[in-house]
Structure 1
């Protein structure tokens, strides 16, 4: 058993090193990264508790900017969820991209996952910026790009995403910095 378990240790250590490297190169502070996780968890819980029925809401926070994607049955729900996001601690702004309409099916969501993977693969192949500087979210074929980037990095990411097969449109939700 010891011999079996000892084979797992290098993988765990390597995985920890990779995760540590991603945190170290993220342009957000560690505190901001933790805040983003807490925002997503708290807001997801509050939306699930408050809204029942035909809802599909994705919540992504990056440096205190919350992106809302998915489908809701009515404008009132769309507005209420955005207000709930705005009132959440540490949220600096909200990008409300919720669509009024039927909830997407598993096939559509699987396609969105595939598109996200293709976009990230193109980012790696192009090697124009560090991939962990840009977060990719795809909903209904629309790719949302989030991150703290230089203007050139943001433009490169948007160009690569927009020319990826299956992408309907690209929405930039970047914060730009000079440096």
Structure 2
């Protein structure tokens, strides 16, 4: 019963994210198609969470001022590492977006995953929102993971995973996401921490399982 309610809640969040994405032909979205973790179990400090929200808003506003409706952009910041997804009409516009965002105060790094081309269709964004919901639900079902440690962003069936996680968690979450129907590729944008660091940060939520370390990557 608990998992059923969790899935219902996630579906509602996915719908809300989709509604935000479809607000215009070339929307700029702070947070993108993201299923965010609850503040209570977020591994960032409260200050970092507030800063990430500020980074997203500043980035969106500055790109809007510079490029207007020339791009469909989603900005997702996690611990000051910024993920850019969406579409730009030209390679120059894509590069310009990255330059603008990299200059936003307190940004530590920018991962530019934008595609050069026409903006995704309503149908494609709907599919992406559903995939994000399925991935998040699958992470909830995994007994060896803390699902709220992850952010999930989906663009054109490519799933981007973000969070401060151990190598074991990164590997496990990637395996789960790859097994979700409709996912074409999984890209990891993690900040890796050790199992010992995780236990120090979350003494009430220790790592639930041990595994061999794996290299972070796509």
Q: Give the TM-score normalised by structure 1.
A: 0.86
1:11-26 alignment to 2 at 5 Å? 22-26=38-42
1:54-65 alignment to 2 at 5 Å? 54-65=70-81
- Whether contact under 8 Å (1:54, 1:103) holds in the other structure is no
- Whether contact under 8 Å (1:133, 1:149) holds in the other structure is yes
> What stretches of structure 1 of length at least 5 have no aligned partner?
1-20
- Whether contact under 8 Å (1:115, 1:166) holds in the other structure is yes
- Cα distance in 2 for partners of 1:42, 1:68 equals 13
Decide which moves more: 127-136 or 112-121.
127-136
Secondary structure of the residue aligned to 2:77 is: strand
Partner of 1:43: 59
Of 190, 208, 214, which aligns to 1:174? 190
Partner of 2:83: 67
- Whether contact under 8 Å (1:82, 1:94) holds in the other structure is yes
Q: Answer yes or no: is 1:151 the counterpart of 2:167.
A: yes
- Cα distance in 2 for partners of 1:138, 1:173 equals 13
Partner of 2:112: 96
RMSD of the TM alignment (CA)?
A: 1.2
- Cα distance in 1 for partners of 2:59, 2:186 equals 25
More helix by share: 1
List structure 1 runs of 4+ shifted beyond 6 angstroms.
none
- Cα distance in 2 for partners of 1:22, 1:60 equals 16
Higher RCO (C-alpha under 8 Å, 6+ residues apart) = 2
Select the structure of larger CA radius of gyration: 1
Q: Answer yes or no: is 1:136 the counterpart of 2:152.
A: yes
- Whether contact under 8 Å (1:142, 1:169) holds in the other structure is yes
Secondary structure of the residue aligned to 2:44 is: coil
- Whether contact under 8 Å (2:63, 2:101) holds in the other structure is no
Of 18, 34, 37, which aligns to 2:50? 34
Q: How many pairs align? A: 159
Q: Deviations over 1:86-136 (max 9, x none)?
A: 110110000000100010011100100000000011111112211111100
